[in-house]
Amino acid sequence: MRDIKEILKKSKVFGLLDADSVKRLAGMFDQWTIHPGDILTNSGDTAHTFFLLGKGTVLLAMDEGKAIVLDTPGDFMGLELLSAKGKYKTSLSVLEEGSVFALSRQGFMELIREDSAMAETIMDAWQEYLDAKAPFAKNNEGPGLLQQF
């Protein structure tokens, strides 16, 4: 299994963070082994965990029939791609064995609500990642955006 700090540094969302921020963020994750057929989230359930792909392949499917396959180490499954108003809006199904790094949705939300360079860097990179990976999931509701996740 790969080291969380290595994955964070290669991630499109977290790769621009400085070493101290990577160290802080890395401490928030737990590593899970995943197997084909595992269901990480079900649409409609209370959202409690966000995920960072370590290795393997995960299908992220929305109720509206839109879906993406995530297979690049560092792909982040969180924020509006995964939840809205405290509920999962997508289902995550494991297609290929590997690992994910799981972190508390609440802890991550507190981190990105901080008035810090780290939070700003993450949110800016997240918007670019979402534009590239899943623009259909992008939430453009403005100032109250963080309240929607």
**Whole-angstrom Cα distance, residue 138 to residue 114?**
21
Distance between CA atoms of 63 and 91, rounded to whole angstroms?
A: 8
pLDDT at 139: 62
- Establish if 30 belongs to a structural domain: yes
Span 24-74, pLDDT tens digits: 999 999 999 999 999 999 999 999 999 999 999 999 998 778 899 999 999
Q: Based on the structure, what is the number of domains in the chain? A: 1
Mean of per-residue pLDDT scores for the chain: 90
Domain assignment present for residue 52? The answer is yes
Domain assignment of residue 13, yes or no: yes
Rounded Cα distance, 57 and 8, in Å: 17
User: What's the full length of the chain, in residues?
Assistant: 149
**DSSP string spanning 85-118?**
TTEE-EEEEEEEEEEEEEEEHHHHHHHHHSSSHH
CATH value at residue 48: 2.60.120.10
Q: How far is it, in rounded angstroms, from Cα 13 to Cα 44?
A: 25
What is the CB neighbour count within 10 angstroms for residue 148? 13
pLDDT in tens, 128-143: 999 998 888 876 444 4
Average pLDDT over residues 8-34: 96
Q: By residue range, what is the domain housing residue 15?
A: 4-136
Is 20 among the domain residues? yes
Identify whether 147 is part of a domain: no
Instruction: Identify whether 70 is part of a domain.
Output: yes
